[in-house]
Amino acid sequence: MTVAFAFLTGMTLVSALGVVLSRNVVHSALFMSGAFLGVAGFFVMLNAPALAMFQVLIYVGAVTVVILFGIMFTQRPQVRRFRTIINRQIWPGFFAAAGVGAFLCYILVGESWEGARPGNGARSVAVLGRSLLGVDEGVEIFSLLFEAASVLLLVALVAAIVISRRKDEEAGREEPGR
């Protein structure tokens, strides 16, 4: 267990450092997938395989791939000098990161964790879905957030289609056959 923890921690930290310090944007994105995989490993260690699977599916399989897909269309993803990475926003960035970290530590230490038990989650899909949405426990806020997120995603989807749609005269010019 300790060996696995050390391995995952090292993998996550080294990959995260690689994201920030790499001179090549593609390398940064690939390192990011490594960091995400390390976090998924932590979820597995904490007996939360469902979370780990969603982490891999969404962050490694979708987010990183889409980011890489976007980078591929840019011309030169290579930074010449190391100085360019450590740019003049280093101190604001440092304070923002430290602030978020301190805030998270404060919340996590202050929170009472007595109700939380490790467990692999329900085997039945219905129970698993209800506990994911927090409907069973009397905390119905999660289902509201879920609906809000789905509306947001729908808006983004429609907006992407509207923006990328070609005008009629433009389409006519490019395809004279039709």
Q: Name the residues that contact another protein, by CB under 8 A.
A: 24, 26-27, 30, 33, 49-50, 53-54, 56-57, 60-62, 64-66, 68-69, 72, 120-126, 128
Q: Is 19 helix (H, G, I), strand (E, B) or coil?
A: helix
> Would you say 12 or 64 has its CB closer to another protein?
64
- Cβ at position 24, least distance to another protein in Å: 8
Using CA atoms of 128, 52, 29, 151 in order, give the dihedral in degrees to the nearest 10.
10
Nearest approach, Cβ of residue 141 and another protein (Å): 24
In whole angstroms, give the CA distance from residue 24 to residue 82.
10
**CA gap 27, 18 in Å, rounded:** 8
* Smaller CB separation from another protein, 116 or 125: 125
The alpha carbon of residue 80 and the mean position of all alpha carbons in its chain are separated, in whole angstroms, by: 28
Rounded CA-CA distance 69/38 in Å is 22
How far apart are CB 30 and another protein at their closest, in Å? 7
- Minimum CB–partner distance for residue 34 and another protein (Å): 10
Of 19 and 122, which has the nearer Cβ to another protein?
122
15 with 32: CB under 8 angstroms?
Answer: yes
User: Could you tell me the two tokens for 105?
Assistant: 């530590």
Residue placing its CB nearer to another protein in the complex, 16 or 68: 68
Specify which residues 78 forms β-bridges with. Answer: 24
| Closer CB to another protein, 87 or 120, in the complex | 120
Report, in Å, the least distance between residue 143 CB and another protein.
Answer: 19
